[in-house]
Structure 1
Amino acid sequence: MSSMRLGLRRGWIDIRHTFTSPAELWQYVFPAILLLGTAFFMRNATVPGTSFSLGARTLPSAFGMGIAMGGLVATAQMLIVDREDGTLLRAKAVPRGMTSYLIGKVVTIGGMSLISFLLQLIPGLLLVKGLDAGGTDWLTLFWLLPLGFVATLPLGAAIGSLFDDPRNMAMVMFPILGLIAISGIFYPISGFPGWLQGVAQAFPMYWLGLGMRSAFLPDSMASVEIAHSWRHLATFGVLTGWAIIGLTLAPMLLRRMAARESGSAVAARRERALTRVGR
């Protein structure tokens, strides 16, 4: 309980600090502006085979993409940066420090991802025509949002534990950007080759986008999806499967990472960082 309280307090302090830092706050505001602008300029394009706005279809998909990016990329990035600057080593040196550290990161990333989602959702409902969210649709969000976090955040922690240099973030970003491109976020994947559709459906990015579309688009738009259905049961099953994988791998990899942290390792990383700056 002490670790839980410390973790919650740490996460709240990080969130509060974000709102006092223009540079960090811009990281959340800018994507919202960019996505809303993209949806606005795509408003006259239509989903193939329908008269429905492609911009209105894209925005809910981007909501799902934002949840996945927060869980996968932001978690990995924070973990890698905290390893390099010694934050992780200091947490390790305190009794139950790693537990409170991880709880704090879950609160920070979950809270800021939710705030980022609301920054996109509220203006989107007002500015983008075609979004249709009823009572049952909000119930869909009630299970989709927490399940999306659980399916992606432990995976992000597991990925982040494998790297100790922020320059290696490109090795994390490129595969995720590739998944975004094939996961139907900006364009329906029903026109893609069958094998590419299969690859997209193996990862949570596609299912988060599909779940968000099911919550905010008219039921008639299910006709352009694979199997002409929103497939809520499959969405729940695949995201639950990834949550189990992440919750199994993350503790093992994080324990191994923590065991390898030492003062000499942090000093070596700082030396490398100073060398890069000197160049």
Structure 2
Amino acid sequence: MSTTAPTAPASGAGPAARTPAGLPGVLPLSLVRAGVELRQFWRERDAVVFVFAYPILMLAIFATVFGGQDQGTEVAEIGFAQYFLPGMVATGVVLTSFQSLAISIAVERDDGTLRRLRATPLPSSAYFGGKVLLTLATSVVQTALLLAVAALVYDVPMPSDAGRWATFAWVFVLGTATGTVCGVAFSSLPRSGRSASAVVTPVVLVLQFVSGVFFAFFALPAWMQTLASVFPLKWIAQGMRSVFLPADMAALETSGSWQHLATAGVLAVWLIVGLVVGVRTFRWRRRDDG
């Protein structure tokens, strides 16, 4: 029978849930674990290229393709690169947090890494802390590169007032946190590491298409806008649009405003749901590894 953490003392959850005597605290151990995670990440050259290059490539492709099509005069007036930039920032956050974690944790469970870590004195909180720090570090670098390319190559104007950057900061942090906990929770769904990508990737692709990442959100059918409003990606993208687009573009949103309070509320709800589901369903062993 598979075990869950931290509610299964028989699997060693008790010792792993707290720092044993003589070991550093959870934060130092999380930093050490983050260092291990980062070194492993940089060794996966293909993953590094994908994480950092994907949003930039998608911005270039969609800005070029849709630049010659009718997506609305409002979008044409500000430039297609500027309009699609918020969606690329949002999808980068979701890819780095939700998708990458859901797949990598499923693989680590399948190859026995999680089972071996569970047998060590490392607290489970330090393991998850390392994952959080890895996600935050890669998300920051990925987003910085994307913004630099947008500004230098496509002449996308960056916000000039502190208020917009403050909005960017809380949407980025809350969106990354939400994607991270949801990725941890979702990692228990794939039955094996081999099937993880096939289970997780389609979910992200569908959300990208309905959340205004690849198309102007106001041009999508009403039912699709309603469906997207249930999930975090739409709200992260909308929050980022409020940062990088002119204030009068808020009139194109469903409610005619940027809905910052609703953005924070929906992301907070998903953060809590992800935490609850993750705590109750996370498995350290494969389903067939009793």
Q: Same fold (TM over 0.5)?
A: yes
Q: Does 1:28 align with 2:51?
A: yes
Which moved further from structure 2: 24-33 or 201-210?
24-33
What residue in structure 1 maps to residue 15 of structure 2?
A: none
Query: Match for residue 158 of structure 1?
Result: 185
Partner of 1:104: 130
Matched residue type, 2:168:
L
SS, match of residue 171 in structure 2: helix
User: In the TM superposition, what is the alpha-carbon distance from 1:49 to its structure 2 partner?
Assistant: 3.6
**Aligned equivalent of 1:277:** none
User: Is 1:213 the counterpart of 2:238 in the alignment?
Assistant: no
Q: CA deviation at 1:102?
A: 1.4
5+ residue gaps, structure 2, are 1-23
Residue 123 (structure 1) aligns with = 149
| RMSD of aligned alpha carbons | 2.2
Partner AA of 2:121 in structure 1: P
1:33, 1:191 → 2: CA distance?
23
1:133 is matched with 159
Out of 39-48 and 170-179, give the one that drifted further: 39-48
1:21 Cα deviation after fit: 5.1
Displacement of 1:46 in angstroms is: 5.8
Change (3 A) 1:3 1:132: closer
Within 5 A, what are the aligned runs for 1:46-195? 47-50=71-74, 51-135=77-161, 136-168=163-195, 169-195=197-223
TM-score, with length taken from structure 1:
0.85
1:234 aligns with 262
- CA displacement at 1:188 relative to structure 2: 2.1
198-207 vs 5-14, which deviates more?
A: 5-14
Compare 14-23 and 163-172 and name the one that shifted more. 14-23
Gap change, CA 1:43 and 1:56, over 3 Å in 2: farther
Question: How far did 1:170 drift?
Answer: 1.2
Aligned-partner SS, 1:235:
helix
Matched AA of 2:164:
D
Give the structure 1 partner of residue 274 of structure 2: 246
1:132 to 1:33, Cα distance in 2 relative to 1, 3 A: closer
Cα distance in 2 for residues equivalent to 1:19 and 1:181: 30
For the 8 Å contact 2:235–2:263, the answer to whether it is kept is yes
Q: 1:44 touches 1:53 (CA, 8 Å); kept in 2?
A: no
Deviation at 1:252, TM superposition (A): 1.5
Q: What secondary structure sits across from 2:243 in the alignment? A: helix
For 2:46 and 2:203, locate their aligned partners in 1 and report how far apart those are by CA, in whole Å.
26
Gapped regions of structure 1 (runs ≥ 5) = 267-279
> Which of 18, 40, 57 is the equivalent residue of 2:41?
18
Q: 1:193 to 1:27 in 2, by over 3 A?
A: closer
Give, in angstroms, the shift of residue 17 of structure 1. 4.6
The reply to whether residue 225 of structure 1 matches residue 253 of structure 2 is yes
Identity %: 29
Structure 2 CA distance for partners of 1:25 and 1:261, relative to 1, 3 Å: closer
Greater displacement, 154-163 / 9-18: 9-18
Q: Which amino acid aligns with 1:58?
A: F
How has the CA–CA distance of structure 1 residues 22 and 173 changed in structure 2, closer, same or farther, with 3 Å as cutoff? closer
- Is contact 1:92–1:98 with CA below 8 Å preserved after alignment? yes
1:35 shift after superposition: 2.7
- Work out the CA distance in 2 between the residues paired with 1:10 and 1:240: 27
Instruction: Assess, with a 3 A threshold, how the Cα gap between structure 1 residues 218 and 130 changes in structure 2: closer, same or farther.
Output: farther
Alpha-carbon distance, 1:39 to partner = 4.9
**Partner amino acid for 2:46?**
A
Quote how far apart the aligned CAs of 1:182 are: 0.7
Matched with 1:200 is 228
- 8 Å contact from structure 1 (residues 131, 218) kept in 2: no
- Secondary structure of the 2:84 match is helix
What secondary structure, in the 3-state scheme, does the structure 2 residue paired with 1:228 have?
coil
- The structure whose residues are more often helix, as a share, is 1
Q: 1:220 to 1:128 in 2, by over 3 A?
A: farther
Q: CA 1:17 to 1:32, structure 2 compared with 1: closer, same or farther past 3 Å? A: same
- What SS does the corresponding residue of 1:246 show, helix, strand or coil? helix
Asked whether the 8 Å contact 1:207–1:239 carries over to 2, the reply is yes
